[in-house]
Amino acid sequence: MEKFLHSVILERDYCNGCTYCLDRCPTQAIRVREGKAEIMTERCIDCGMCIKVCPYNAKGAQSDSLEMLKNYKYNIALPAISIYGQFGLEYDINKVMNGLYELGFDFVFDVAYAADLITQIQKKRVGEEGHPKPLISVYCPAVIRLIQMRFPTLIDHISRLESPGEVAARIARKKVEAMTGLPQEDIGVFYLTECPAKITSIRKPIGIAKSQINGAISLEAVYTKLLRMYDDIQVVQQISKCSGKGVGWGMVGGQSYAMGSEDYLAVDGIDEVIKVLEQLELGKLNDIDFFEGYACVTGCVGGPLNPENPFIAKGRIRRLSAKYPQEVSMEAFGEITERMLEWDEDIEPLPVMKLDSDFKVALEKLSKIEALYHMLPGIDCGACGSPTCRALAEDIVMGRATLADCVVRKNSERKNNDSEER
């Protein structure tokens, strides 16, 4: 398997070399070379910001299709919690989920129900002795990758629990195996997702050796189909059994509310998350018990693979969360224990920002970068194809660019030469 595996992809034919994605990428993982954007895979956290801002649809997410269901004898659908915000309140979400049977699935399990289970476990851990403060939610895989990459000293703060999608997959797979007697390899588990980072976390899991999920299908891909067939959907099962707190996980602040936590911080938008992580790394904000951070504004309902406007979807989640019962029985989860839901692997820092593995060589490169930076205009225009002047200086030292790439400097030199000739 590749060291860096990503779901965010670039359609070069659609790219016209503008700098929208260049300016907005939170990890400076994009460069524009020869009129086309390029993704530095080692820096990409699959947050999907480039997908959202590209006006030419040149960025996308590599998800699976419904055709993949043919590879298995029995198929399970796991609709992401965000599905609760994608349909107007006049639609019955339980009926919508039953529509997944008509798309070829044999069993449907609500991920929001799994969130209820995680809430109970996480509630016990928050503020518990032996856990550093604050405990950091694992729900947004883009934020976890960001911590690995830029804030490795905070890795010990991560809660080390599986995501709701993985927990739902584990429970659903166990139920289906008991019902059908089929072996694991004949059962396909598919996550209907709003998020490229979650697709990546299935293919390259965080904290677990192997994902329980076999494929990820975007919510966008099934949304129109479900909408068109809604009137004809036959309700065969009560799928939506979660509490309002489980539904609330779909929006920023939902986890903290579900746990009844008072000393928490819920932040949405990757730039704001970075600012808070910087504070945490400095040892500040130790008065909070729990931190939930989302790369997407509004939380998971703001994911780039959702069809609905994130603010409209968040409003629906909020209203549905209030209407649903606030508690559910844990009996349905059977013998699932806290230990079973913990990570089985440690996660390591991703030192992709290192200039060199040799400390002395790294210092020399840093010195060269500083010298080059002071030779550049410092206006961060992006015309060179690097996001900032400092990034260009680093690219030059690392052999990814040359000083001649600076358009402003080149124009200034040309003007000076013209003046001298006169």
Q: What is the pLDDT of residues 369-387, one digit of tens each?
A: 999 999 999 999 999 999 9
* Range with the poorest average pLDDT among 79-83, 124-128, 234-238, 307-311: 124-128
Write down the pLDDT at residue 420: 58
Strand partners, 75: 188
Half-sphere CA count of 100, side-chain side, radius 13 A: 29
List 188's β-bridge partners, or say none: 75
Q: Are 383 and 407 in contact (CB under 8 A)?
A: yes
pLDDT tens digits, residue range 148-170? 999 999 999 999 999 999 999 99
- In angstroms, the CA 19 to CA 379 distance is 14
Backbone dihedral angles phi then psi of residue 362, each to the nearest 5 degrees: -60, -40
DSSP codes, 18-34:
-SHHHHH-TT--EEEET
Distances from the Cα of 115 to the Cα of 121, 168, 323, 377, angstroms: 10, 8, 17, 50
279 near 285, Cβ under 8 Å?
yes
Quick: pLDDT tens for 104-115.
999 999 999 999
Length of the chain: 422
| Predicted confidence (pLDDT) at residue 299 exceeds the cutoff of 90 | yes
10 Å CB burial of residue 273 (0-12, 13-18, 19+) is: buried
Three-state DSSP class for residue 161? strand
How confident is the prediction for the chain on average, in pLDDT?
93
CA neighbor of 255 nearest in space, from 287, 304, 222, 299: 299
Residue with tokens 């230990």: 339
Contacts of 312 (CB under 8 A, 6+ apart): 85
pLDDT classification of 138: cutoffs 50, 70, 90: very high
- Average pLDDT, integer, range 260-270: 94
Task: Count CB-CB contacts under 10 A for residue 244.
Answer: 23
User: What is the separation, in whole angstroms, between the first and last Cα of the chain?
Assistant: 61
Residue 218: pLDDT band with limits 50, 70, 90: very high
* Residue (of 6, 7, 20, 29) closest to 57 by Cα position: 20
Tokens of 333: 């989860």
Q: Residue 1 forms beta bridges with which residues?
A: none
For residue 1, the model assigns a pLDDT of 37
**pTM of the shown model:** 0.92
pLDDT at residue 49 is higher than 80: yes
Residues 6 or more apart from 420 whose CB is under 8 A from it? Answer: none
Closest among 241, 294, 302, 290 to 114, alpha carbons compared: 241
- Domains of the chain: residue spans and CATH: 1-58 (3.30.70.20), 66-341 (no CATH), 358-422 (1.10.15.40)
Spacing of C-alpha 7 from chain mean position: 10
In this structure, are residues 90 and 231 in contact, taking their beta carbons and an 8 Å threshold?
no
CA distance 152 to 369: 23
Asked whether 139 and 249 are in contact (CB, 8 A), the reply is yes
**135-136 β-sheet, strand order:** 135-136, 290-294, 264-268
Residue 239, judged by CB atoms within 10 A of its CB (0-12, 13-18, 19+), counts as buried
Instruction: Give the separation between CA 277 and CA 272, rounded to whole angstroms.
Output: 9
The continuous run of DSSP H or E covering 271 comes out as: helix 270-281
